[in-house]
Amino acid sequence: MQDFRPIDLLNATHERGSIVLVRADLNVPLDEAGNLRDATRLARLLPTLETLSLAGMRVGILSHFGRPRGMPDKALSLAPVATALGQLMNTPIAFCDDCIGPTAASALTDLPEGGICVLENTRFHAGEETDDAEFAAALAALAHAYVNDAFSAAHRAHASTHALAKTLPAYCGHAMQAELTALNSALGNPARPLVAVVGGAKISTKLELIGNLSRKVDTLIIGGGMANTFLAAQGVEIGTSLCETGMLDTARAIIAEAAANGCRILLPCDGVVAPEFAAGQTGTCVDIAHVADNQMILDAGPQAVKDICNAFDEAQTLIWNGPLGAFEIEPFDAATTAAARHAAARTKAGQLKSVAGGGDTVAALNHAGVAEDFSYVSTAGGAFLEWLEGKQLPGVEALAAN
């Protein structure tokens, strides 16, 4: 794992009253009235803000919000998010309607020691998404130090995540450090056996992910719609199930490569089928070799779940991305829920290190009521997936190089 300067070092090397820019991810869901619908990302930011505030730093928060395409857009202002953050922290949070220039400079210097100000959407400036050095310099002119606490934006080489980290003394926030530590323990230097679950609809969207994991894990469990393509590639008749017929050769190549790497691929041996994916359907369990022509596989079957749980029982480390079936509609959530609860129970018993991430994954674990019981659940989305794919993340690389 790369070395990063921890935030505690910042507090030890900068005087009270110093101005610190914190790159956060405030790109959170709001309803039409501007009210926060999910506070998870904001909650994970609080330890960093509290550490800096207690040390007497003046804190300016940088973030993008939506896609304003390099121009101001009132509908994408961070003002309502600043209000929500203040309510969550139970402390006043200032807001500035720009993130560079005299207005932003005054907003930060006027803060009391320990004060916090949310600066306006960085994407209101075209230089943000082009990683422009001049825009980064304008940001840097506001402050004495920089903290990146937005792993979820680390896969983008933008000015506030990349160029800025090379301009100011840069430090790693608490949430960023927790994410990197968890991910390193899961894939960088894991306790073995290492098992990965990859689910979802299509192989084509997770080719790099599957390829990287097949070179690193001991068992790769494939579920969801993409399992149908692997089954079809092996000559299994899958009825009307979702299948990427143009990816059959690719699936066979993945199976061959995994075998060459000593990675076992685990596919469902039975499934729950129905005539269509719709509410009110009654699922029928069948052996995977006996799917009728007019039926579609919508979930893994009970024996498949037992096989998956047995793999969890043998594992020391688990990585999970994607559901095992069409969990959004009952009863096709059964396999994902049962497997997730089994992994959670082993984690709580201290028998398994479990790391999960991806939008559908987080939703599925919350649906199963076990998200809090996994060792770590990433809300990073694209950055989490690119890390699983083995890609370098510009925001992390810049932070490490500083």
Evaluate the CA torsion angle 215, 217, 219, 222 in order and state its sign: negative
Is 66 among the residues known to form the active site?
no
Q: Are 173 and 147 in contact (CB under 8 A)?
A: yes
DSSP-assigned letter for residue 280: T
End-to-end CA distance of the chain: 15
Going by C-beta distance under 8 Å and a sequence separation of 6 or more, which residues neighbour residue 280?
none
Q: What does the chain come to in residues? A: 402
Q: What angle do CA 318, 28, 162 make, to 5 degrees?
A: 75
Rounded to an integer, what distance in angstroms lies between the CA atom of residue 351 and that of residue 316?
7
Sequence-ordered alpha helix ranges (H) in 14-148: 40-54, 79-89, 101-109, 133-140
Rounded to an integer, what distance in angstroms lies between the CA atom of residue 52 and that of residue 58?
8
Three-state DSSP class for residue 237: coil
Is 348 among the residues known to form the active site?
no
Q: Which of 17, 66, 359, 390 is labelled catalytic?
A: 359
Rounded to an integer, what distance in angstroms lies between the CA atom of residue 324 and that of residue 80?
37
Residue 136: CB atoms within 10 Å? 25
Q: Are 236 and 289 in contact (CB under 8 A)?
A: yes
Q: Which of 17, 70, 211, 382 is labelled catalytic?
A: 382
Three-state secondary structure readout of 221-262: EECCHHHHHHHHHCCCCCCCCCCCHHHHHHHHHHHHHHHHCC
Q: Are 164 and 21 in contact (CB under 8 A)?
A: yes
Q: Which of 5, 56, 86, 202 is labelled catalytic?
A: 202
Evaluate the CA torsion angle 89, 91, 97, 102 in order and state its sign: negative
Q: Which of 41, 44, 206, 346 is labelled catalytic?
A: 41
Beta bridge partners of 22: 61, 147
HSE toward the beta carbon, residue 255, CA cutoff 13 A = 16
Is 202 among the residues known to form the active site?
yes
Structure tokens at 19: 């101005």
Rounded to an integer, what distance in angstroms lies between the CA atom of residue 244 and that of residue 229?
6
> Which residue numbers are catalytic?
41, 202, 359, 382
